[in-house]
Structure 1
Amino acid sequence: MGLTSANTLFDRFHSPTRGLLAKEEVFSHIEHTISSIGGPFEIIVGADSQLKSRGTFFALVITVIRPGHGGTFFYHKFQERRYSSLQQRIFQEAMYAVGLATEVRQYLRDRHLDTPIRLHFDIGTNGPTRKFIQSLLSLAETNHFRAEIKPNSFCASTIADKYTK
């Protein structure tokens, strides 16, 4: 896996059940799922990163959940330069999550679907990331998203975390 350029970011996602998909296929699948199956859905976007000697490894995840009936997820992983600052990495994760959530929201709005989208940040009240909580929650609010942190941010702290290893 080489370095990812801005032009190819978010272009391909993996699905545990469907394999490798283009971003448009992921969005179309989300649209079809929401519009064809009754009941409310939740969409959650999260990100995580792992600092390694060769660079910073990121994973972005979109989860689609039908409460009480399960769900599915799609992930995109990539490598960038080495972010040695924890603050840089955490804020980069958040910016990627906000950008992807904004794309999903616009895609669904263009198709007259109004499904809430939440953000999950891999930060919490324990540990060194606690000092970023207010800034990231404000970032989410400014972009009209509700956000959650640990221990409720499973999309980032569990699913995305798995794919940064």
Structure 2
Amino acid sequence: MGLTYESPVLFDRFHSPSRGLLDKADVFSNIEQTVSTNNGTYELIVGADSQLRSRGTFFAIVITLIQQGRGGMFFYHKFQERRYTSLQQRIFQEAMYAVNLASELRQYLREHEIDLPIRLHFDIGKNGPTRKFIQQLLSLAETNHFRAEIKPYSFCASTIADKFTK
């Protein structure tokens, strides 16, 4: 069975625990301003998670900005799609959403002359049924010029995004 990529969901609105509901442009601008005005080393991570329910598949995609040694902030977007019964299709859909959003963010940062690498966090690991997707998803990240991490290091997907799919 071949995988199909669904038409892209528009991630236009994000929630921030500290800033409330924001347009994507405001999220990107917020990241730009934070990195530009504060000294320090930053990490930018994009991750996604999903949960299969009877009414459909619930997704959450998260952008996390961490200032090493000083904490951070995150922004999330939740949405529901059709029911993906195939674990492989659901995991790959999560990954594609993360890659697409990270690519948009990278383009924005480049246009604003900010050199900040973006990592991807995938909600897969060496234990359990997702282990068979590790190589394919790491290759997907590398092909798109991103570094990716899996469990137990992929907290943006497996902890933060997971919280918002429940």
TM above 0.5, one fold?
yes
Q: CA deviation digits over 1:109-133, x for unaligned, max 9?
A: 0000010100000000000000000
Alignment correspondent of 1:55:
56
Alignment correspondent of 1:103:
104
- Aligned partners of 2:67, 2:146: CA distance in 1, in Å? 19
Q: CA deviation digits over 1:17-46, x for unaligned, max 9?
A: 010000000000000000000111110000
Q: Which amino acid aligns with 1:161?
A: D
Unaligned 5+ residue runs, structure 1? none
Counterparts of 1:69-108 in structure 2, within 5 Å, are 69-108=70-109
What secondary structure is seen at the aligned counterpart in 2 of 1:141? helix
Q: Which amino acid aligns with 2:72?
A: G
What secondary structure is seen at the aligned counterpart in 2 of 1:78? strand
Q: Number of aligned pairs? A: 161
Runs of 4+ in 1 over 3 A off after TM superposition: 5-8
What secondary structure is seen at the aligned counterpart in 1 of 2:44? strand
CA gap 1:34/1:47 in 2 versus in 1, 3 angstroms: same
- Aligned partners of 1:68, 1:40: CA distance in 2, in Å? 9
Identity of counterpart residues, as a percentage?
77
Task: Give the deviation of 1:6 after TM superposition.
Answer: 5.5
Task: Give the deviation of 1:7 after TM superposition.
Answer: 7.4
- Aligned partners of 1:74, 1:6: CA distance in 2, in Å? 22
Unaligned 5+ residue runs, structure 2? 1-5
Q: How much is the aligned-residue C-alpha RMSD, in angstroms?
A: 1.2
What secondary structure is seen at the aligned counterpart in 2 of 1:83? coil
- Aligned partners of 1:104, 1:37: CA distance in 2, in Å? 19
- Aligned partners of 1:92, 1:7: CA distance in 2, in Å? 10
